[in-house]
Amino acid sequence: MVNFFLKDIKLLLRDRTELLVIFLMPFILMLILGFALKGVLGGGESTRELEVALVEEDNSNEGKTQFISYLEEQEIPTIAKEQIIEASNQIAIPSIIHTILTKELTEIVAVELTDKEAADEKLAAKEIDAIITIPEGFTYTTLKHVLLQETEAANLLIKKGEHAVFDSSIVENILSQIAQSINLETAIAKESQSTEIRPTSDEVIKRETETITNGEPVSSMEYYSIGMAVMFAFFIASTMAAKSYSEQTQHVLDRIILSGRHPLQFLIGKLFAVIMLVFFQVNVLFVLSSLIMQSFQPISWQTIGIMELITFFYALAISAIACLLIALTLRLRSQAVSSSFTSGIVSVLALLGGSFTPITTFPEVIQMIGSWTPNGMTLRAYMLASQGLPFADIVPYVIRLSWITVFIFILSVVLFPNRRVAA
């Protein structure tokens, strides 16, 4: 078995064209798609609107009153207190945010004002992409932060739908616009009160983004690293099937059978070769993407661990597919199995699984089918993992993938022409 495995690896390493296809092509395609289709995932120049619900949980007047009473307690000269109160009256924080979202960023976002429940419902129904919440006490905290330089900047909550895939830059863009406006208004307010202008940091607000649970949004480079990784793994399976075909037609397989080895050993050698190659391939792509395009950064060890685990399960799934292709190839004595897989089936699977464009843009039914393709569910799992989600959230995908793997394995062993592979 080890001998078969080593032989397969050696043969592949000597096949330069195949190596390029397997290890370099996905990277190149990732770059092309990542740059060309940046818009699909959002980003600054996006023409696609982000549907956002704005939920105001903050009561601006209450916040101001609270701020003033806090100010009264402080030991500051009365004149200064009065100026600060004046200034605070000029800053209407929720309306700044409101104005920016509805008037200035109309190119990027479409905002509607709703209450929390309605927003959650809409997010669940995938009618909107995200909810921006101005949390309770936002005005109070922000005033304290910008006028007194006390406390941390306030949090603006962004809850991103699981279905929504958009570039993190779009969120940055919104937030920095809001921050700038608050800064500007603060500056104006202070100016008019002729208090000395203290330098204010750009970070007047912080953000807290979450997917359904917490997570970083995915950049287009990250998205296509994952998309190409899950797609190109298929080519390792078909390459192995093609190699089996030539071993059969060139009668090398006859020799193996005559040696008294069980033909399944031949299959298992290939299986391990596939697992190793897929593992290697995916890692090469992710590391390159991370080093050159800064994808997946920053990343925690835990996330790396989870992603490697997903890679391992996906490698198993691909090795099962390889076994199925090999079994069919040898049974039918036909190259058509691997070539039709390479030239047709992979593209369909890749499309359905979302390797080229997020499947959220597809009709419901196709999304359903896509989520059941091995590559589709793996892509999803990688996405969640790269957003920093804990393993528990990924387990369902891994389990589903494992079931498919087991099924394909059994099918290929049944179809494998055991007794007389060569006949």
Partner 1 sequence: MLETESLRKVYKNKVAVDEVNIYLKEGESVGLLGPNGAGKSTLISMIATLLKPSSGKVFWEGQDIIKNPHIIRPTLGMVPQEIALYKELSAYENVKFFGKIYRLKGKHLESRVQEVLEIVGLKDRQKELVKNYSGGMQRRINIAVALLHEPDIIIMDEPTVGIDPQSRHYILEMVKRLNEEKGMTVLYTSHYMEEVEKLCDRIYIMDNGKIIATGTKDELVSILSSEETIDLVLEESSSAFEDALRAEEHVLKVTETEKGLKLIVPKQSNQLTTIFHLAEKHQAAIQSVSIHVPSLEDVFLHLTGRKLRD
Applying CB under 8 A, the residues found at the interface with partner 1 are 3-4, 7, 10-11, 14-15, 250-252, 254-261, 420, 422-423
Q: Which residue type occupies 382?
A: Y
Q: Which is nearer to partner 1, 9 or 148 (CB)?
A: 9
How far, in whole angstroms, is CA 130 from its chain's centroid? 16
Distance set, CA 160 to CA 126, 184, 210 (Å): 10, 28, 6
CA 152/CA 140 separation, integer angstroms: 12
Please answer whether residues 223 and 253 qualify as being in contact, where contact means their C-beta atoms are separated by less than 8 angstroms: no
Q: Which is nearer to partner 1, 69 or 259 (CB)?
A: 259
Q: CB 415 → partner 1: shortest distance, Å? A: 19
Q: CB 7 → partner 1: shortest distance, Å? A: 5
**Which residues face 53 on adjacent strands?**
112, 131
Q: CB 277 → partner 1: shortest distance, Å? A: 16
Q: CB 419 → partner 1: shortest distance, Å? A: 9
What tokens were used for 288?
């390159």
Q: CB 11 → partner 1: shortest distance, Å? A: 6
Q: Which is nearer to partner 1, 3 or 294 (CB)?
A: 3
Non-local CB neighbours of 137 within 8 Å, separated by 6+ positions = 58, 63, 66, 154
Residue 396, helix vs strand vs coil: helix
CA 131/CA 134 separation, integer angstroms: 10
Q: CB 33 → partner 1: shortest distance, Å? A: 32
How far, in whole angstroms, is CA 106 from its chain's centroid? 25
Largest CA distance in the chain: 101
Q: Taking Cα atoms as reference points, which of 408, 69, 90, 142 lies closest to residue 271?
A: 408
Q: Taking Cα atoms as reference points, which of 139, 150, 151 lies closest to residue 98?
A: 139
Q: Which is nearer to partner 1, 148 or 264 (CB)?
A: 264
Q: Which is nearer to partner 1, 15 or 210 (CB)?
A: 15
Please answer whether residues 360 and 367 qualify as being in contact, where contact means their C-beta atoms are separated by less than 8 angstroms: yes
Q: Which is nearer to partner 1, 263 or 358 (CB)?
A: 263
Please answer whether residues 240 and 321 qualify as being in contact, where contact means their C-beta atoms are separated by less than 8 angstroms: no
Q: Which is nearer to partner 1, 11 or 187 (CB)?
A: 11
Peptide bond before 199: cis, by omega within 30 degrees of 0?
Answer: no
Please answer whether residues 388 and 214 qualify as being in contact, where contact means their C-beta atoms are separated by less than 8 angstroms: yes
Please answer whether residues 204 and 179 qualify as being in contact, where contact means their C-beta atoms are separated by less than 8 angstroms: yes
Q: CB 409 → partner 1: shortest distance, Å? A: 24
Q: Which is nearer to partner 1, 32 or 332 (CB)?
A: 332
Q: CB 420 → partner 1: shortest distance, Å? A: 6
Non-local CB neighbours of 362 within 8 Å, separated by 6+ positions = 370
What tokens were used for 412?
């290929």
Q: Which is nearer to partner 1, 258 or 392 (CB)?
A: 258
Q: Which is nearer to partner 1, 7 or 48 (CB)?
A: 7
Q: CB 322 → partner 1: shortest distance, Å? A: 19
Q: CB 258 → partner 1: shortest distance, Å? A: 5
